[in-house]
Amino acid sequence: MKKLLTSLVLVLLIAGNSFGQDYKQVGIGIGTTFNFNPGSLNFQSIQTIRVPINVSANLRVEPFVGIFGSDDKITTKMDPTASRKLKSSALLVGAGLFFVVPQESGNFYLGASASKYSADDEVNERDEDGTYKQTEETSGWIFSPTIGAEYYFSPSFSLGLEAGFGFMSGETDYSAEEINQYNSYKQDQNNENNNTYSFTTLTVKYFIF
């Protein structure tokens, strides 16, 4: 009888530890966020590194960081000497908080994320008349309510899809400089007012636990 009770206690302890490990675990993954309103942010898609932390069976905290960069050059056949260069970069640092509804082979979840957004945009134009340069530096905060679902292909790998509706509030520093054969000027403008934008996103997530 003692052996039976001891065995039962051991089984319960192992089961309890296993249950705790099912949700008290930390993973790492990659997310690709597609922005369907590129006028609000300076990227159409951004890659993020994410660290999902399952605090409990129904609560997840998910810090993330994302970096975006592009460098494009445009020329025309009509004027081979003319060119237009576009440079853009962005940094996104934030975290999400989600209420999780476990399913047999995956999860549904609902929550929101908040992040700090910093972006730089630069336009350089050159033709036979002269040069033109324009720069914009934007800094602000993003808040995005989200809803999503994920499917576990194995206990250690999941694929998720998340839809969000974001709001960004920030400030923009603007400068422009033009030098040509007729005149030259330089303009600096600091927009102190908070500009608010809204946008929709779709994020694909790959997690390894």
Terminal-residue alpha carbon distance, the chain:
40
The count of residues in the chain is 209
Give the model confidence (pLDDT) of 33-57 as tens digits. 999 886 667 788 899 999 999 999 8
Mean pLDDT, range 131-156, rounded to an integer: 90
Are residues 86 and 135 in contact, defined by beta-carbon separation less than 8 angstroms? no
Are residues 178 and 136 in contact, defined by beta-carbon separation less than 8 angstroms? no
Beta strands 28-35 and 45-50 are antiparallel
Cα 51 to chain centroid, rounded: 13
- Give yes or no for residue 16 having a pLDDT over 60: no
- Give yes or no for residue 14 having a pLDDT over 80: no
Q: What pLDDT score does 181 carry?
A: 62
Q: What pLDDT score does 22 carry?
A: 52
Give the model confidence (pLDDT) of 77-112 as tens digits. 666 667 778 888 999 999 999 999 999 899 999 999
Are residues 170 and 194 in contact, defined by beta-carbon separation less than 8 angstroms? yes
| Sequence spans of domains, the chain | 26-208
CATH of domain 26-208: 2.40.160.70
Q: In sequence order, what E strands does 19-129 have?
A: 28-35, 45-50, 53-56, 59-75, 83-102, 106-127
Give the model confidence (pLDDT) of 153-206 as tens digits. 988 899 999 999 999 888 888 888 877 766 666 666 554 456 788 889 999 998
Place of tokens 């999941």: 158
Burial of 23 (0-12, 13-18, 19+ CB in 10 A): middle
Bridge partners, 164 (sequence order)? 146, 201
Are residues 191 and 163 in contact, defined by beta-carbon separation less than 8 angstroms? no
This prediction has a pTM of: 0.78
Q: What pLDDT score does 138 carry?
A: 87
**DSSP H or E segment with residue 6:** helix 2-23
